[in-house]
Amino acid sequence: MTKSNIPFNKFYKLFNILSLFLILISFLLLIFKGLNFGVDFKGGTLIEVRSLDKSLNISDLRKSFKNLDLGDVSVKKFGKDNDYVVKFEKKQSIEENFIENIKIELRKDIGNVFEFRRVESVGPKVSAELLKSGVIAIALSLGAMLIYIWIRFEWQFSLGAIAALFHDIIITLGFFSMLSLEINLSIVAAVLTIVGYSMNDTVVIFDRVRENLKKFSDIKIYDITNISINETLSRTIITSMTTLLALLSIFIFGGAILKGFSFAMILGVIVGTYSSIYIANPILIRLNVTQKTILKEEKE
């Protein structure tokens, strides 16, 4: 196999502008449209209902639930044809047999042609705590990455890697906002894994950049990054491919519960791979990284 020689660095500007544009749009979406928080973070109740009768359709279900005085009710298809997810604001309270009563009322209304496969009910205190710990987890992981890279590399690299991470998280969340996809606990897990993956990808290229900087004193960082990206390109592609294959398998065959999670991950892997090349590297150039940058560090 011959080494590729693609002039990635020619497109730095173009893709930086594209990224800035995407980040801007994501920000606007996050501010004005916001995220569609699930019961984990908003509180409320989720019931996964399976209908056992084909004639029972979504509008019947919607109507029956609306009659129950549960606050704002949403009914959506979920996975298979006869599965639905019902969400509403009202949550488990001191009121006894809350779920049982809903079942009884529904039976009166549409007959015994359904079963509850899953119930999640989260009180306001718990959902606030879950949201807080989710945000803390993401912030903490970013901080830990920053410190780790700082220790292993120089601060310029650290900055480049973190910028790439922010880029990935914001664009992933922007996508979720645009498509109104639900944010729940597993999405936080996905975001953290994206952080790990994107970092992993960036580190591989950075390691090579550093190695090449030591090797060639007469080549500018602008070209060093390009050489390094090309040298690691086949690895980048192969690893992204195998990871995407695994994720696609979860997305397609892993059932409805893992759909959101695997979608976020697929998005994150693509964006993360892109950002390792087009966000992390241009920052090294902007920060004027030279051979001296790393040699100085080593002397100290």
In 3D space, the residue among 134, 130, 101, 106 whose CA is nearest the CA of residue 49 turns out to be 106
Q: 177: how many CB neighbours lie within 10 A of its CB?
A: 22
Instruction: Count the site residues for other proteins by CB under 8 A.
Output: 75
Q: Angle CA(287)–CA(153)–CA(16) in degrees, nearest 5?
A: 40
Q: Is the dihedral of CA 110, 111, 114, 119 positive or negative?
A: positive
CA 290 to chain centroid: 34
232 binds other proteins (CB under 8 A): yes
186 binds other proteins (CB under 8 A): yes
19-27, 69-77, 259-267, 276-284 -> range binding other proteins (CB under 8 A)? 259-267
At its nearest, how many Å lie between other proteins and the CB of residue 279? 16
Interface residue with other proteins among 9, 243, 275, 281 (CB under 8 A) is 243
At its nearest, how many Å lie between other proteins and the CB of residue 3? 8
The answer to whether 72 and 62 have CB atoms below 8 angstroms apart is no
At its nearest, how many Å lie between other proteins and the CB of residue 122? 5
Interface residue with other proteins among 62, 254, 286, 287 (CB under 8 A) is 254
9-17, 24-32, 199-207, 285-293 -> range binding other proteins (CB under 8 A)? 199-207
At its nearest, how many Å lie between other proteins and the CB of residue 4? 12
Q: What is the Cα–Cα distance from 292 to 290, expressed in whole angstroms?
A: 5
Q: What binding mask, one character per residue, do residues 7-46 give for other proteins by CB under 8 A, x or -?
A: ----------------------------------------
In 3D space, the residue among 104, 269, 258 whose CA is nearest the CA of residue 195 turns out to be 269
Q: Which of residues 127-166 bind other proteins (CB under 8 A)?
A: 130, 133-134, 136-137, 140-141, 144-145, 148-149, 152
Residue length of the chain: 300
At its nearest, how many Å lie between other proteins and the CB of residue 152? 6
Q: What's the burial of 92, exposed, middle or buried (CB within 10 Å: 0-12/13-18/19+)?
A: middle
Q: Which of residues 62-121 bind other proteins (CB under 8 A)?
A: 92-94, 96-97, 99-100, 115-121
7-15, 24-32, 123-131, 291-299 -> range binding other proteins (CB under 8 A)? 123-131
At its nearest, how many Å lie between other proteins and the CB of residue 74? 19
At its nearest, how many Å lie between other proteins and the CB of residue 258? 6
79: left (phi over 0), alpha (psi -120 to 50) or beta: left
Element (H, E) at 246: helix 233-253
Q: Which of residues 263-282 bind other proteins (CB under 8 A)?
A: 265
At its nearest, how many Å lie between other proteins and the CB of residue 62? 22
DSSP secondary structure string, 92-133? --SSTTHHHHHHHHHHHHH-S-EEEEEEEEE-HHHHHHHHHH
245 binds other proteins (CB under 8 A): yes
Q: 264: how many CB neighbours lie within 10 A of its CB?
A: 25
